[in-house]
Amino acid sequence: MKALILVGGYGTRLRPLTLSCAKPLVEFGNKPMLLHQLEALVEAGAKTIVLAVSYRAEQMEQEMRKVEEKLGVKIIISLESEPLGTAGPLALASEHLTQDSEPFFVLNSDIICDFPFKQMVQFHKHHGKEGTIVVTKVDEPSKYGVVVYDAENGRIQRFVEKPQEYVSNKINAGMYILSPSVLKRIPLKPTSIEKEVFPFMAQDGDLYAMELQGFWMDVGQPKDFLTGMCLYLTSLREKSPDMLHSGEGIVGNVLVDPSAKIGHNCRIGPNVTIGPDVVIEDGACIKRCTILKGARIRSHSWLESCIIGWKCHVGRWVRMENVSVLGEDVTVKDELYINGGRILPHKSIGDSIPEPQIVM
Amino acid sequence: MESVWKIENITPRVRAEYLVQVDLSGIAVEQWCDDSDIKSACPDCKQRIHRVRFPAATFYILLVTVAFIEKAEKVWTRFRPLSLELPKPLFPVAGLPIIYHHIEACSKVPGMREVILIGFYQPNDALTKFINSVQNEFKIQVRYLQEYTALGTAGGIYHFRDQILAGNPDVFFVMNSDVCGDFPLKEMLSFHVQKGGGSHCTVLGTEATRQQSLNYGCIAENKDTHEILHYVEKPETYISSTINCGVYLFSPEIFKTLERIFKKNLEEKYSLDTTSPSKEIIRLEQDIFVPLAGSGKLFVFHSNRFWSQIKSSGAAIYANRHYLAIYRDTHPDRLAKNGEGLPSVVGDVFIHPTAEVHPTAVLGPNVSIGKHAVVGEGARVRESIVLEGATLQDHSCVLYSVIGWNATIGAWTRVEGTPNDPNPNKPFAKVEVKSTFTNDGKLNPSITVIGSNVQVPCEVVILNSIVLPDKSLSGSYKNQIIL
Ligand SMILES: Nc1nc2c(ncn2[C@@H]2O[C@H](COP(=O)(O)OP(=O)(O)OP(=O)(O)O)[C@@H](O)[C@H]2O)c(=O)[nH]1
Ligand SMILES: Nc1nc2c(ncn2[C@@H]2O[C@H](COP(=O)(O)OP(=O)(O)OP(=O)(O)O)[C@@H](O)[C@H]2O)c(=O)[nH]1
Ligand SMILES: [Mg+2]
Ligand SMILES: [Mg+2]
């Protein structure tokens, strides 16, 4: 089995984190997003994985050499000289995808779920047509492009962008399995798979939808990143509860790297991820947050719904909330209030941010 | 549902009518029709005098406060008068009631015999206790005389003339209760005495900025003799940057002028309308100083020591800081020190001996913690006044706020206000007397005031807000008055 993962986007919506690190390498649940997908692919039997890269290729390459060995999989970096969108990269990598006539997976790099790769293969083989896309149910379909398909067999009729009237509550989950013949439909130029390929496949009756069971989230922006983290930790609780932390002051689902240190009289959780080398000092309260590697949260601070970037330093009696995101190596001085602040890397914050704001 | 009064919803006209005045006593929120209205239809006021006597002389200090209680009730009954049990002059600043600082300053004047407080409210427990304790401490007689109605800033002095003149004092001080400062009373006295028999009154004056002077009584003087040549209360245009500090030294001759004005007022204000303001009202500034100016009987004594009005909670925080700084010289024992097993203290901090402050708490600069207050583990307090019986639970953070009597602040909660300090870059700038609302009807960011008995839950943030007494909050609030 082969797979191609689209990792070439700029990840602008996940800034300021993506100013320091390519989005697929940002740790989600203490593991680079991409690794969640790679592991699941390997588990499902993939032997060759193509990463469609358009920038930050060196960083990606370095990381991938380590992963290749660890997972025992062949990782090919397919580098675009210009961003080719979500379909163009398939054309560019076609030599790797057409070595046999087996179908291959295509994945967005910023989605998180129980990856249903084995089911996808079965489903795809069962209908025998060119493509299968995984769809997932959402509460507010009017915010997305929805997929209208035949409930009986899954054949897709059409796509409707941001429907005003209800037509469907299923959206594209960013995971596909495609037969090599699809490549004939894709030119080697910037092309959108969602807008310029799938609608035609649907017209031809060649595209099927498989509904995803279980949780799913596009974690490409901070708010969804945190929501996705909650879902992910909940699923860990079911599947591998041993990975979750317990002990003094830990509430609910909390993931803590063994190298992190947590002080006394803290209250951590529910839904917190604490990365390697993080230090949480005495008396801190943290809920629904991701704290990335090497950050320090000082005493008596209170954090809710925040992403704290690598090596950040949050002072004492700081209150941070409302999807505040600190880029790499940000310092927040003592006693400040940060409400929905997005802080660019290497900044030192000396004044409160009482209303959501970006600090350059 | 919290009944939050959303200021935005109120039309400008209504806003003018329902101006909300938030000051210390409410921790008191009072309400009135409109500014001019209040001034004329003078409602319930309160006033007190301190009187001090020494062999040759007796000085009186008049401390006065006004609380427009009836008015508030009439305008909007839902808006209960919130001037609590504690009269505003007893509001503690730097750990001690505002007028304690006045009385202490008086006690340092040699020969001070008696302090008379003239006020308008029913004497209550708090006042009686206060009077007893200062009598004991300073060994001078302290009395409270109650006006039968609001008599204005000089009406009470005239009304109680026999009490004030008993024992034939040579001079007496009169002090407004809503000012604070490092009062140079001894110096005023020497200045007054030196001016000789002709002088009826010496007014303590200080410098203000040109623009801010318009909010005060303005004094034009003869620079050589310091005689006041012209006096205007809150002028519309600039007169002088020397302003009236609300601290006066009178010779008994002043009663002749008071009597003349009193009689004139009675005649002029003759009317059958019983609801009209009392005919016995005398306004010290307009009725007395204005005519006396230029007659050789009114002088100004200048001081550039710390002085401020205390009309808002912002000013109370400012006054707190200055009184604490004065303790460094006058009462170092009142300032908390760092040490083994003691809470960490940054800068000037007053902790009442009966307060329980956890050793891991960090206080200061400029913090006063009242009687029996409890400050939990790892709590942080800066630039704030925590009143008697209040509890700050573990890890809470209180900045630029007043925490009312017996209020509770939950763990990890943040209570924060915006300082209302004078512009440090302008010489002589005073605390800005900001209106509660901006022109577009928003609450002006100010000190956060948590009313008495208010329960603030854990882990919330209360920012630039005023929470009226006895509320149990259920979440975070920003820039709101919570009724
Ligand atoms: N190789 C390649 N991948 C792309 C390109 N554009 C987007 N992607 C990937 O396609 C997936 C879906 O894209 P988006 O969800 O828009 O993410 P993004 O473009 O990285 O991020 P935003 O800037 O926030 O939109 C992500 O995994 C991207 O990395 C591209 O031009 N080339
Ligand atoms: N006893 C008594 N005191 C009064 C009365 N009116 C005012 N005062 C006090 O006199 C002092 C000065 O009061 P005001 O003249 O109202 O205040 P101000 O300093 O001029 O400032 P504004 O409130 O802006 O006019 C304060 O301490 C008041 O409490 C009164 O009718 N009776
Ligand atoms: Mg994009
Ligand atoms: Mg006045």
Q: How does DSSP classify residue A32?
A: B
- How far is the centre of ligand 4, averaged over its atoms, from the C-alpha of B246 (Å)? 8
Q: Is the C-alpha dihedral spanning B335, B125, B116, B219 positive or negative?
A: positive
Beta strands A207-211; A313-314: pairing state: unpaired
Higher pLDDT, B280 or B219: B219
Q: How confident is the model at residue A56 (pLDDT cuts 50, 70, 90)?
A: confident
> B240 CB less than 6 Å from ligand 2?
no
- How far is the centre of ligand 2, averaged over its atoms, from the C-alpha of B116 (Å)? 16
Q: Is the C-alpha dihedral spanning A146, A152, A156, A160 positive or negative?
A: negative
Judged by CB atoms closer than 8 Å, whether chains meet at A317 and B397 is answered as yes
Q: What is the pLDDT of residue B20?
A: 34
Within 8 A of B379 by CB-CB distance, chain A residues are 300
> pTM of this prediction?
0.81
Residue B44: pLDDT over 60: no
For residues B359-381, give the mean pLDDT: 96
Are B447 and B419 in contact by the 8 Å Cβ rule? The answer is yes
Ligand 1 atom showing the smallest separation from residue A89 Cα: 1
Q: What is the ipTM of this complex?
A: 0.80
Is B275 exposed, middle or buried, given 0-12, 13-18 or 19+ CB atoms closer than 10 A?
exposed
Point out the least confidently predicted range of A120-129, A321-330, B389-398, B442-451: B442-451
B189 touches chain A (CB under 8 A): no
Are B171 and B251 in contact by the 8 Å Cβ rule? The answer is yes
Are B38 and B27 in contact by the 8 Å Cβ rule? The answer is no
For residues B273-288, give the mean pLDDT: 78
Are B257 and B315 in contact by the 8 Å Cβ rule? The answer is no
Residue % of chain B over a pLDDT of 90: 43
pLDDT single digits (tens) A212-266: 998 999 999 999 999 999 999 999 999 999 999 998 899 999 999 999 999 999 9
Residue B26: pLDDT over 80: no
B 121-180: CB under 8 A from A: none
Helix (H/G/I), strand (E/B), else coil: A318:
coil
Pick from A354, A148, A106: nearest CA to B418: A354
Radius of gyration of chain A (CA): 21
Q: How confident is the model at residue B272 (pLDDT cuts 50, 70, 90)?
A: low
Take residue B276 and report the two structure tokens written for it.
Answer: 């009209």
Helix (H/G/I), strand (E/B), else coil: A68:
helix
Q: Whole-angstrom Cα distance, residue B466 to residue B26?
A: 10
Residue B417: pLDDT over 80: yes
Q: What is the pLDDT of residue A156?
A: 92
> B65 CB less than 6 Å from ligand 2?
yes
Radius of gyration of chain B (CA): 22
Higher pLDDT, B273 or B103: B103
Take residue B70 and report the two structure tokens written for it.
Answer: 């009836």
Q: What is the pLDDT of residue B433?
A: 66
Is B441 exposed, middle or buried, given 0-12, 13-18 or 19+ CB atoms closer than 10 A?
middle
Q: What is the CA angle A52-A53-A59, rounded to 5?
A: 135
Q: Which helix (H) or strand (E) holds A60?
A: helix A57-71
Tokens 């975070």 belong to B476
Take residue B209 and report the two structure tokens written for it.
Answer: 């900025």
Residue B87: pLDDT over 80: no
Residue B2: pLDDT over 60: no
For residues B301-316, give the mean pLDDT: 88
Take residue B183 and report the two structure tokens written for it.
Answer: 């009062």
Point out the least confidently predicted range of A8-12, A256-260, A327-331: A8-12
Judged by CB atoms closer than 8 Å, whether chains meet at B377 and A299 is answered as no
Q: How does DSSP classify residue A275?
A: -
Q: What is the pLDDT of residue B9?
A: 35
For residues A294-323, give the mean pLDDT: 97
Count H helices, E strands: chain A?
8, 29
Higher pLDDT, B175 or B266: B175
Helix (H/G/I), strand (E/B), else coil: A331:
strand
Higher pLDDT, A75 or B430: A75
Judged by CB atoms closer than 8 Å, whether chains meet at A285 and B459 is answered as yes
Active site residue A70: no
List residues of A whose CB lies inside 8 A of any B CB. 265, 282-283, 285, 299-300, 302, 304, 316-317, 319, 321, 335, 337, 339, 352, 354
Q: Whole-angstrom Cα distance, residue B372 to residue B354?
A: 5
Take residue A130 and report the two structure tokens written for it.
Answer: 């060119």
Are B65 and B46 in contact by the 8 Å Cβ rule? The answer is yes
For residues B233-253, give the mean pLDDT: 92
Please state, rounded to an integer, the average pLDDT across all residues of chain B. Answer: 79
B397 touches chain A (CB under 8 A): yes
Q: Give every CB contact of residue B75 below 8 A, 6+ residues apart in sequence.
A: B17, B18, B31, B32, B33
> B64 CB less than 6 Å from ligand 2?
yes
Within 8 A of A335 by CB-CB distance, chain B residues are 380, 382, 397, 399
Q: How confident is the model at residue B12 (pLDDT cuts 50, 70, 90)?
A: very low
Residue A290: pLDDT over 90: yes
Beta strands B96-97; B92-93: pairing state: antiparallel
Residue A175: pLDDT over 60: yes
B395 touches chain A (CB under 8 A): yes
For residues A123-137, give the mean pLDDT: 92
User: For B81, phi and psi rounded to 5 degrees?
Assistant: -60, 130
Q: How confident is the model at residue B193 (pLDDT cuts 50, 70, 90)?
A: confident
Tokens 């009518």 belong to B17
Q: Whole-angstrom Cα distance, residue B16 to residue B36?
A: 11
Q: Whole-angstrom Cα distance, residue B464 to residue B156?
A: 37
Q: How confident is the model at residue B363 (pLDDT cuts 50, 70, 90)?
A: very high
SS3 letters across chain B: CCCECCHHHCCHHHHHHCEEEEEEEECEEEEECCHHHHHHCCCCEEEEEEEEEECCEEEEEEEEEECCHHHHHHHCCCCCCCCCCCCHHHCEECCEEHHHHHHHHHHCCCCCCEEEEEECCCCCHHHHHHHHHHHHHHCCEEEEEECCCCCHHHHHHHHCHHHHHCCCCCCEEEECCCEEECCCHHHHHHHHHHHCCCCCEEEEEEECCCCHHHHCEEEEECCCCCEEEEEEECCCCCCCCEEEEEEEEECCCHHHHHHHHHHHHHHHCCCCCCCCCCCCCCCHHHHHHHHHCCCCCEEEEECCCCEEECCCHHHHHHHHHHHHHHHHHHCHHHCCCCCCCCCEECCCEEECCCCEECCCCEECCCEEECCCCEECCCCEEECEEECCCCEECCCCEEECEEECCCCEECCCCEEECCCCCCCCCCCCCCCCCCCCECCCCCECCCCEEECCCCEECCCCEEECCEECCCCECCCCEECCEEC
Higher pLDDT, B284 or B279: B284
Give the distance between the most distant pair of CA atoms in chain A.
63
For residues A99-128, give the mean pLDDT: 92
Q: How confident is the model at residue B432 (pLDDT cuts 50, 70, 90)?
A: confident
Residue B81: pLDDT over 70: no
Q: How confident is the model at residue B56 (pLDDT cuts 50, 70, 90)?
A: very low
Point out the least confidently predicted range of B215-224, B393-402, B440-449: B440-449
Residue B412, min C-alpha distance to chain A (Å): 6
Point out the least confidently predicted range of A332-336, B61-65, B178-182: B61-65
Q: Give every CB contact of residue A163 below 8 A, 6+ residues apart in sequence.
A: A141, A142, A146
Tokens 């070595």 belong to A99
Q: How confident is the model at residue B423 (pLDDT cuts 50, 70, 90)?
A: confident
Question: End-to-end alpha-carbon separation of chain B, Å?
Answer: 12
Residue B437: pLDDT over 90: no
Residues linked to residue B181 through DSSP beta bridges, in sequence order: B307
Tokens 């509320």 belong to B471
Count of CB atoms situated within 10 Å of the CB of B271: 10
Measured CA to CA in angstroms, residue B482 lies from B15, B75, B219 at distances of 17, 19, 40
Q: Whole-angstrom Cα distance, residue B131 to residue A145?
A: 76
Residues linked to residue A112 through DSSP beta bridges, in sequence order: A217
Residue A114: pLDDT over 70: yes
Q: What is the pLDDT of residue B169?
A: 83
Q: How does DSSP classify residue A62?
A: H
Peptide bond into A16 cis (omega under 30): yes
pLDDT single digits (tens) B143-181: 888 888 878 888 888 999 988 888 788 888 899 888 899
Helix (H/G/I), strand (E/B), else coil: A13:
helix
Residue A332: pLDDT over 70: yes
Q: Whole-angstrom Cα distance, residue B371 to residue B351?
A: 8
Reading phi first (left if > 0) and then psi (alpha if -120 to 50, else beta), residue A305 is in left
- How far is the centre of ligand 1, averaged over its atoms, from the C-alpha of A6 (Å)? 7
Judged by CB atoms closer than 8 Å, whether chains meet at B378 and A265 is answered as yes
